[in-house]
Structure 1
Amino acid sequence: MPGQRKRKHRRLREADRRSLVGRPGRWETLLSTEDHQEFRTFIHRMYAEGLVTDPNLVRLDQFCGRLQHPTTYRVSVFVPAPA
């Protein structure tokens, strides 16, 4: 069935993210932009520089725009609370 691998991968990542629900901490926004190319460049630079150690701690959001509100892209990282 077309697209099943993508859906399965998405479900696995969502399950990993749900494991963060009970952990103390917060999601901190690193980038919020309306430019898709800037969004992609930022993500590639994060991975190239080794800033991402665990992909489950990074959240990539795309807020779909309509006529009045443009599409917005956001990169957030989970910051655990100090012990």
Structure 2
Amino acid sequence: MFVVREHGQVVAAAGYRAWPSRTAHIAVLTAPGARGRGLARVTGSVTVAHALAAGLLPQWCARSPASRRVAAVLGFEELGSQLSVEIAG
């Protein structure tokens, strides 16, 4: 995991989980007060580079428009969509 700290607090973080078929499922989080400063791009870029160096294929599931913009800047292309359903118990 890669993090950016300010005043001892984590304001952005990114990492990945290795999935089957040598895929790296990437997750990027930025604190609301730290958004719009390029921190997702920085942590995401380092995470992608680490996954590639490990011989993995990076995958970015971008749902929000901001996440889609960061993914595009890092060279990802949209190839499909994902549907999530929560079943009330």
Q: TM-score, normalised by structure 2?
A: 0.28
Q: Which has the higher contact order (CA 8 A, sep 6+)?
A: 1
CA radius of gyration, larger in: 1
